[in-house]
Structure formats: structure tokens, C-alpha cells
Structure 1
């Protein structure tokens, strides 16, 4: 199961999913306020969002399950994994990408920034800023995208890790060499969330590094799971 970064929908992982190896079913969580859930109230509390996703998974038949999350989705995936483990349904693997370990405290206040400042921030992170610029010229599109983005930034910026029992599943952290949001040292700190095996994979590129090479990242995920 894939957990999206801030402001994104389940469709964010479509390109990556197309390259995942055989025998692995790829699904993605759809956060409220996106696409087919556009009318659902936005959630601005990250543990609440993780709790809803975990509850949905616990209602499904037991099956070997792994979680992959990028950026905000990494922290969501971690919190979902904690809840599943507490209910006796631990995940097979947790793969986190482009995000510092959970005890990192986000000091930014982008959720209180203007729409223009939010768009500026997105442009700096994007592998291709051209689609982001449409938010300046297409007000209807901005009205659809920015509320969810702002809610997600509030969830990330107000999140505080609550210490508790650690996971015992394998954890793999992905980090790119030019990501302005996550350093190699910060990615390595994910080893503290588990008593199980930990590994670190690095990739070239910026924050959305797998936009350019989805096949390479998908192959790394496939290796983790097989």
C-alpha cells in the first residue's frame, strides 16, 4: 500500500505502480478531499489520518502487507504500521522515502502561508515546475489543490512523535542525493523505529526523484519485498 505525499492523491503512484514486479498487488490510500473523495472533510491531524487508514486495513482480510510512503506519506505509513502492529497485524515491510525520522520536529509554518508562498514552495521541490505554475494561472485548479495541500502541511507541521513500542519489521529508507528536505543522516535515523533489519537506499535527484526514473525505484521496492 502506498501513502501519498502532501497535497497528492492516490494517482500520484500510478507511474511507479506500473513498474512493480509480478506477484505484488499495488494499492494506494486516497486521503479525504482528493478526487473521488473531494467532498469528504479534510484531516489536519496526521495521527487521525493514520488511524482512519489503519482501521480500513484492519477491516480487510489478513494478508502479507507492506507500506511505502514518500515525504508526508512516510510518516503516515509509519503511524499506520504502529497501529497495525498494536492490533496484532504487523506489516511485512515498511519503506519510507524523502522524509526525516518521526522524532524530527518540523519548524515551518507553511500551512499558514499565502497561496502564492505555497506555490513557490512547490516549485522549488518539483522535478518539473511547469505544471505547478498552472496553479497561478488557473484559479479553478488552485481551488481544488491548495486546500488539501494546506491541510497536509498542517498535519505535518503540527505532528509530534509519541514514543512507544518500536516496530519489529524490516525498515528501508530511500533518500535522494539532492533532496532539500531530508539529509542522508536524517534518513539513517529511521533505523531507530524498529528492532528488525534496517537498510538505506540512495538515488540521484531531488525531492521527487522517482518522477525521472520510476522504474529504478520500483525495482528497488520489488527487491525489498521479494
Structure 2
């Protein structure tokens, strides 16, 4: 029997494999330039075991006519307003790269405005909020921006080869880079829930040491998991990543 998604009316939430909502939930936040469908394979792999919801930011795919948001705090606030309020005790937040910072800010909003912590946060491919590099890619010209994105090996080169697609993608990509490069936490930059940091051992944007610094941003337990690979280690290591997510989120079988 198919299950109808209760999130179908939301511009912000994608529910690729609706569940009966009694299982653990994981809300996924994409990277800069990324979209909700990046997490479709994760949703498919965990279907029936985890309710995987993916956030769709403005300015991409079916939201391409909407202006992109250039501030991490604003993105987090918008997403926070759209997230389900029930079942927070079974809700995990997962974010990769820019998405990790948004997931962290959403957790802070949950704790500050609702007085409830998520079950945990998994921050992937992003250095801790206390570690800054002073990046300014969003201020560079189009060719330099494209070169920076290509160097990460996370985007199909055909996207930039097609003039029309390139015209549509570049403003959103630049907005995302501006958001993450100008992001600074405000106030107390700690959460009460557990935090797990994932990182590739050859990630040019986040060293293992920078990922380990997330431990200073939680009052709960912290663990670091290092995978082989670069910034987008998740793609070639998908089976390993999903296995680790399952180990963290799903109750142990007796």
C-alpha cells in the first residue's frame, strides 16, 4: 500500500519515499549549488527504515524562478519554519558542506525556539563554525567561480558547457558561495545534541583537524569519521556512508 506524503504542499521539503512516519527521521541539507535530489539515492537506500526528507533551497530545479538566498541564517530560518514539529525526538539533521552549517543553525533554532533538541546532527565536509579561512570565491568572475567548482569534482562538467544551463546555474551558485563564505555563527555556537562529523581524508575545503573542531560546538557526545576521498567522498563511498548513517540512526538489533 502506497503512503501519501504530508509534505507535498511544501516548497522546501522533498519526500521521495514516503513512510508511515513511525521510523527515525533524517532531514538532509544540500551543499552549495546542490539540490534536494542529491539525496534521492540515500532516501532509496533507507526507504522503510528511515524517513528521509531533503530540503530544496530556492533558485534551483523546480524553484529556479525564485531568487536564491545569500545568507545561511536566513536559509536556516526558512527551512526551520517548514520542518515537521512532531517526532523531534526521532529527527536527525544531515548536512554536507554548506548544508552542514545550515543543519547546525536549524538545530540551534530548534533548541532556542522550541526548547527541543534533534536526536543528533551529522555534519559532513565542513569545518567547524569556529574555523575560518577568509574565502572570497563569490566575488570572483564567472570563470574563476566555475574553476573552483570543477576542482571539487562534484558537478557534471556538462552543466557549464551548455550556455543556457550555465546562465541559469551561475547566479544560484554564486549566491550559495556568498552565503557560506560570509557565514559566522551568532551568539552561543553550541548545541545540546550529539554531533557526528564526516570528512574525506583529501578534502581541500576541510581538513581532518578542522572537522574535529566540531567537538567544541556540542554539549553532547561527539565523534569523527574519516572516509577516503575528497570533498565529495560521499559519491564513491555511498555504501560506507549509508552504513554509518544506519549505524548511528537505527536502533541496534537485538
TM-score range (shorter-chain normalised) is over 0.9
1:159 lines up with 2:183 in the alignment: yes
Q: How does 1:134-149 map to 2 (within 5 A)?
A: 134-149=158-173
Match of 1:70 among 96, 104, 124: 96
Displacement of 1:25 after TM fit?
Answer: 0.8
Q: Distance in 2 between matches of 1:57 and 1:205?
A: 32
Match of 1:209 among 207, 225, 233: 233
Match of 1:112 among 128, 131, 139: 139
Larger fraction in helix: 1
SS in 2 for 1:174: strand
Displacement of 1:21 after TM fit?
Answer: 6.8
Specify the alignment match of 1:61 in structure 2: 86
Moved over 6 A (4+): none
Q: Which segment is superposed worse, 16-25 or 148-157?
A: 16-25
1:13 lines up with 2:39 in the alignment: yes
Q: Deviations over 1:72-108 (max 9, x none)?
A: 1000100000001112231001000011001222411
Specify the alignment match of 2:28 in structure 1: 2
Q: How does 1:24-63 map to 2 (within 5 A)?
A: 24-57=50-83, 60-63=85-88
Q: Distance in 2 between matches of 1:74 and 1:162?
A: 16
Rate the CA distance shift 1:136–1:66 in 2: closer, same or farther, 3 A.
Answer: closer
Match of 1:101 among 121, 125, 128: 128
Q: How many residues align?
A: 222
Rate the CA distance shift 1:165–1:147 in 2: closer, same or farther, 3 A.
Answer: closer
Specify the alignment match of 1:171 in structure 2: 195
Specify the alignment match of 1:182 in structure 2: 206
Q: Distance in 2 between matches of 1:152 and 1:216?
A: 28
Q: Distance in 1 between matches of 2:173 and 2:120?
A: 28
Q: Under a length normalisation based on structure 2, what TM-score does the superposition of the two structures give?
A: 0.83
Displacement of 1:166 after TM fit?
Answer: 2.4
Match of 2:152 among 125, 142, 160: 125
Rate the CA distance shift 1:16–1:22 in 2: closer, same or farther, 3 A.
Answer: same
Q: Under a length normalisation based on structure 1, what TM-score does the superposition of the two structures give?
A: 0.93
Structure of greater relative contact order (alpha carbons < 8 Å, 6+ residues apart): 1
Q: Distance in 2 between matches of 1:106 and 1:139?
A: 32
Q: Distance in 2 between matches of 1:61 and 1:136?
A: 41
Q: Deviations over 1:29-74 (max 9, x none)?
A: 000111121122211011011011111115x434421000000100
Match of 1:90 among 103, 109, 117: 117
Displacement of 1:165 after TM fit?
Answer: 6.2
Runs of at least 5 residues in structure 1 that lack an aligned partner in the other structure:
none
SS in 2 for 1:218: helix
Contact kept in structure 2, 1:67 and 1:77, CA below 8 Å = yes
